[in-house]
Amino acid sequence: WPYCRKRCSYCNFNKYVVPVVDEEAVATCLVREARTLLCLSQVQSVTSVFFGGGTPSLASPHTVAAVLEAVAGAAHLPTGAEVTLEANPSSTSTSPLAGFKAAGINRLSIGVQVRGAPPHPNLHSPPMPSAATPLTPPQSLDDAELQLLGREHTAAEARGAAALGFCDNHLSLYQLTLEQGTALAAQVWGGALPAPPQDLLADMYQTARAMLVAAGFRHYEVSNFARKGSLSTHNLSYWRGEQYIGVGPGAHGRFVPWGEGSHSREARVQTLEPDAWMREVQSRGHGTRRRVVLSLLEQLEELLALGLRTDEGVTPERWGHLSPHLSLEAVFGVPGEAKDLQEQGWLVLDSRGLRCSWEGLALLDSLLPGLLCQLQQH
C-alpha cells in the first residue's frame, strides 16, 4: 500500500501523498497481481502475509480482506498463519482495528520514533528492569522531535498505541539511517542539524540489548527482540532465504516462476509509480518491472548476509539445500578470514552452522565483506 498522509523527513521508501486514492481500483489490482504471481510461483502454501507501505492502515478492512481472500484462493493459507498490518499510531483507532481483525489481521506492527538518553555510565552494569517493567526509553516520544521528523502522530498517541505493558513481547530497534534524497539527510549534511557520534550510537545499542535480554527477550536478529515465542515468522522467512512474493507498487520478491517453465530463482521488483503499476496489472495481470535470474553465488551471498543477522545463523540444512557439494565447513572452516574471526571470538562455526557470537552480532556489517570475499574465492 504505497500511500501516506504525509512524507516523513527521514523516509526514502516508495510512498506517495495524493489528494484522493481510488481504493477500489488499487484493491482490484492488488487482488489480480496476488493471484497472478501466486499462480506463476505454483506455491502450495503461504506461511505469512505482511501488509506494508506506505501506511496500509489507511486502507479499508475491505481491501485487506479482499487480498487475503485472493491469497487463500490461490494457495493454502493455514488457519493461524501470521498476518501483519503496519500502522502509524495516529491511524489505530479502535473501530478500524476491529475491522482489520475481522478481515484476518492478527499481528500489528506499530512504528514509533524515539530518542534515547545517553547510556548509563557503567555500561557493563546498566539498570536492569524486571520482566514486568515497561521498557520506555528515557527522553523519548518528544512532540517537538516527532514534528522535526515529519511524523503525523503525537507522543500521546504513540504511548496509547504502543504501550509496552500491553504489546511487550516483540521489539524492533532500528537506528536512524540518513538516506540520500531525504529532507532530514539534507539538514544534517548541510549542518542545520547535528548527527549523534558513532560511539554514542554503539553504546545505546549495547545498553538496549543488555536491558532487553535481562527482561527476558531473545535477541534473535540484529535489530529484533522477542519473548514468549513472539518472533516474526514473516521476517524470519527473509533471513532464512525462503521464497517470498512481492505484491504492489515497488514490492520486491524472490521466487522460482515455475508457471513459466523456469527452474531458477528470480529477484523481482514491481513498477514503482502506482498509476503506472495499475495500468500494467490491468493489461497483463502483474506489474513486474525488473526480473533478474539469481546465480548460485548470488543466492549463497544473500543467504550468508541475511542468515548471519540472526542468532541461529546459517544452518547446514539451508546451506546444503543450495550448495549440496560445497559445505559450510569447506568454505569457512579453512584458513582465512572466517577462521581469523572465529579465533577473535566474533564468529562461531560448528555442527549447528555458521553464526555470529553475541559480540560479533553488533559488528556484522564490518565482518561481512571479508566473509563474502572468502565465499567468492570458492
**Whether residue 336 is found in the same domain as residue 321:** yes
Is residue 125 situated within a structural domain?
A: no
Q: How far apart are CA 285 and CA 32, in angstroms?
A: 6
**Are residue 283 and residue 193 in the same domain, yes or no?**
no
Domain match, 253 and 219 both: no
In this structure, the answer to whether residues 67 and 192 fall within a common structural domain is yes
Strand partners, 225: 171, 219
Q: How many CB atoms lie within 10 A of CB 353?
A: 21
Which residue type, as a one-letter code, is found at position 160? G
Does 173 share its domain with 279? no
pLDDT digits 0-9 by tens, 21-60: 999 999 999 999 999 999 999 999 999 999 998 999 999 9
Q: Which domain holds residue 345?
A: 299-376
Per-residue confidence (pLDDT) for residue 120, from 0 to 100: 33
> Could you tell me if 285 and 153 lie in one domain?
no
Cell numbers representing residue 203 in the block = 553504546
pLDDT at residue number 146: 56
The answer to the question of residue 91 being in a domain is yes
* pLDDT recorded at residue 6: 77
For residue range 187-198, list pLDDT tens digits in order: 888 888 888 888
Q: Is residue 358 located within the same domain as residue 266? A: no
Grid coordinates of 248: 504492489
Nearest CA to 316 among 329, 335, 297?
329
Nearest Cα residue to 42 out of 234, 245, 237? 245
CA distances to 46, 127, 293, 326, 345 from 320, rounded to whole Å, are 23, 43, 20, 8, 25
Pick from 149, 152, 43, 44: which is nearest to 92 by CA?
A: 152
Same domain, 167 and 225: yes
The tally of domains found in the chain comes to: 3
Torsion of CA 146, 150, 153, 159, to 10 degrees: -30
Task: Indicate whether 217 and 315 sit together in one domain.
Answer: no
Series of mean pLDDT values for 10-residue runs along the chain (378 residues): 82 78 97 98 97 93 98 97 89 75 94 54 29 32 59 57 64 85 84 86 90 93 95 97 97 97 97 97 98 98 98 98 96 97 97 97 96 96
Q: How many residues does the chain have?
A: 378
H helix or E strand, kind and range, residue 318:
helix 316-322
* Within-domain flag for 140: yes
pLDDT, residue 157, reads: 57
